[in-house]
Amino acid sequence: MTGYGPDNLPYGVFSLADGVRRIGVRLDDTVVDLSDVDDIFRQPSLNALMAQGSPQWTYWRSVVHRHLDRRIPLADVDLHLPFEVADYTDFYSSEHHATRVGRILRPGQPALPPNWRHLPIGYHGRSATVVVSGTPIVRPRGQLGEGVFGPTRRLDIEAEVGFVVGVPGARIGTADFDRHVFGVVLVNDWSARDIQAWEYRPLGPFLAKSFATSISPWVVPLAALATRPAPVQDPVPHDYLRPAGHGYDLRLSVEWNDTVVSRPPFREMYWTAAQQLAHLTVNGASVRTGDLYASGTVSGPERDQAGCFLELTVNGTEPVKLADGSTRGYLADGDTVTIRGSAPGARGGTVALGEVRGTVVG
Amino acid sequence: MTGYGPDNLPYGVFSLADGVRRIGVRLDDTVVDLSDVDDIFRQPSLNALMAQGSPQWTYWRSVVHRHLDRRIPLADVDLHLPFEVADYTDFYSSEHHATRVGRILRPGQPALPPNWRHLPIGYHGRSATVVVSGTPIVRPRGQLGEGVFGPTRRLDIEAEVGFVVGVPGARIGTADFDRHVFGVVLVNDWSARDIQAWEYRPLGPFLAKSFATSISPWVVPLAALATRPAPVQDPVPHDYLRPAGHGYDLRLSVEWNDTVVSRPPFREMYWTAAQQLAHLTVNGASVRTGDLYASGTVSGPERDQAGCFLELTVNGTEPVKLADGSTRGYLADGDTVTIRGSAPGARGGTVALGEVRGTVVG
- Over residues A315-348, the pLDDT tens digits come to 999 999 999 999 999 999 999 999 999 999 999 9
Contacts (Cβ under 8 Å, ≥6 apart) of A324: A257, A258
Which of A127, A199, A210 minimises the CB distance to B119? A199
CA atoms of B23 and B77, how far apart (whole Å): 12
How many helices (H) and strands (E) are present in chain B, helices listed first? 8, 26
In whole angstroms, what is the distance from residue A341 CA to residue B318 CA? 55
User: A282 vs B207: CB contact, 8 Å cut-off?
Assistant: yes
Rounded Cα distance, A184 and A160, in Å:
10
Assess whether pLDDT exceeds 90 at residue A165: yes
Give the pLDDT confidence score for residue B276 in this predicted structure.
98
The percent of residues in chain A predicted with pLDDT above 90, rounded, is: 99
The verdict on a CB contact (< 8 Å) between B141 and A284 is yes
Helix (H, G, I), strand (E, B) or coil at A247: strand
pLDDT of residue B262: 98
Of B211, B279, B288, Cβ closest to residue A283? B211
Query: At residue B106, does pLDDT exceed 90?
Result: no
Q: Which of A106, A119, A140 sits opposite B143 (nearest CB)?
A: A119
- B113: pLDDT confidence band, cut at 50, 70 and 90? very high
Between CA A92 and CA B199 the distance in angstroms is 12
Q: Which pLDDT tens digit goes with each residue over A17-75?
A: 999 999 999 999 999 999 999 999 999 999 999 999 999 999 999 999 999 999 999 99
In whole angstroms, what is the distance from residue B170 CA to residue B180 CA? 10
A198 touches chain B (CB under 8 A): yes
pLDDT at A1 over 60: no
CB B4 within 8 Å of CB B28: yes
Taking 90 as the threshold, does the pLDDT of residue B310 lie above it? yes
B201-215 burial: b if 16+ Cβ within 10 Å, else e: ebbbbbbbbbbbbbb
In percent, the amount of chain B with pLDDT more than 90 equals 99
CB contact under 8 A, A203 and B114: no
Residues A301-324 as b/e (b if ≥16 CB within 10 A, e otherwise) read: eebebbbbbbbbbbbbeeebebee
B206 touches chain A (CB under 8 A): yes
- The CA distance from B40 to A357, in Å, is 40
Catalytic position from the list A97, A124, A180, A279: A97
Check if A119 contacts B (Cβ < 8 Å). Answer: yes
pLDDT at site B360? 98
- A221 vs A233: CA distance, rounded Å: 27
Residues A171-209 as b/e (b if ≥16 CB within 10 A, e otherwise) read ebbbebbeebbbbbbbbbbbbbbbbbbbbbebbbbbbbb
Q: Tell whether the model's pLDDT for residue A106 goes beyond 90.
A: no
Pairing of strands A181-188, A159-165: antiparallel
Give the containing element (helix H, strand E) for B49: helix B47-51
Question: How high is the pLDDT of residue B81?
Answer: 98
Which run of H or E residues covers position B122?
Answer: strand B122-124
Cβ–Cβ below 8 Å for A87 and B126: yes
Average model confidence (pLDDT) for chain B?
A: 97
pLDDT for B105? 87
Cβ contact, residue pair A279, B129, below 8 Å: no
Quick check: B22 contacting A, CB < 8 Å? no
Burial class, A130, CB count within 10 angstroms (exposed 0-12 / middle 13-18 / buried 19+): buried
What is the pLDDT averaged over residues B77-102? 98
Give me the torsion for CA of B88, B94, B99, B101, rounded to 10°: -40
Q: How many residues does this entry show for chain B?
A: 362
A118 is catalytic: no
Q: How far is B90 from chain A (nearest CA, A)?
A: 10
Question: In a mutagenesis test of the B interface, which of A101, A112, A123, A172 is the best target, namely the one with the most B β-carbons within 10 Å?
Answer: A123
Interface of A with B in 68-87 (CB under 8 A): 86-87
Domains of chain B (ranges; CATH) run 11-80 (2.30.30.230), 89-361 (3.90.850.10)
Angle among Cα A87, A90, A95 to the nearest 5 degrees reads 160
Q: State pLDDT tens for residues B5-38.
A: 999 999 999 999 999 999 999 999 999 999 999 9
Show which of residues 282-301 on chain A sit within 8 Å of chain B, judged by CB atoms: 282-288, 291
Distances (CA, A) of B124 to A33, B103, B127, B154, B236: 37, 24, 9, 22, 26
Residue B201, chain A, CB below 8 Å: the answer is yes
Chain B partners of A138 at a C-beta cutoff of 8 Å?
284
Average pLDDT over residues A242-262: 98
C-alpha dihedral sign at B133, B138, B143, B147: positive
Neighbours of A62 (CB within 10 A): 8
Chain B partners of A115 at a C-beta cutoff of 8 Å?
143, 146, 198-199, 201
A119 to B284: CB separation less than 8 angstroms, yes or no: no
**Mean pLDDT over the full length of chain A:** 97
For residue B1, the model assigns a pLDDT of 57
CB pairs under 8 A between A and B: 158
At A105 the pLDDT is 87
Closest residue in A to B201 (Cα–Cα): A113
Whole-number Cα distances in Å, B323 to A199, A284, A291, B254, B328:
42, 31, 44, 14, 11
Tell me the three state secondary structure of residue A331: coil
Q: Going by C-beta distance under 8 Å and a sequence separation of 6 or more, which residues neighbour residue B257?
A: B322, B323, B324, B335, B336
